[in-house]
Amino acid sequence: MAFSTLLVTLLTVSGVLGQNGWGVTYTPERICALKGSSVDMRCTYSYPTWHKVQKAFWFIRWSPPQEPEDLSLDPEYSGRVEYRENLNRDCTFRIKQLRETDAKTYYFRFLTDHADGKYSGQPGVSLTVTALQVRVNPGSVTEGQSVTLT
Q: Which pLDDT belongs to residue 88?
A: 76
Q: What is the pLDDT along the chain (150 residues), one digit of tens a residue?
A: 443 332 222 222 222 222 578 999 999 999 999 999 999 999 999 999 899 999 999 999 988 888 999 999 999 999 999 998 666 789 999 999 999 999 999 999 999 999 888 899 999 999 999 998 888 888 778 888 888 887
Q: Which pLDDT belongs to residue 16?
A: 28
Contact partners, residue 99, CB within 8 Å, separation at least 6 = 35, 129
Query: Minimal CA–CA distance to 121: which of 110, 108, 131, 112?
Result: 108
Contact partners, residue 102, CB within 8 Å, separation at least 6 = 95, 127, 129
Q: Which pLDDT belongs to residue 132?
A: 83
Give the DSSP letter of residue 41.
E
Cα atoms found within 13 Å of the Cα of residue 105, Cβ hemisphere only:
10
Pairwise CA distance, residues 45 & 26, whole Å: 9
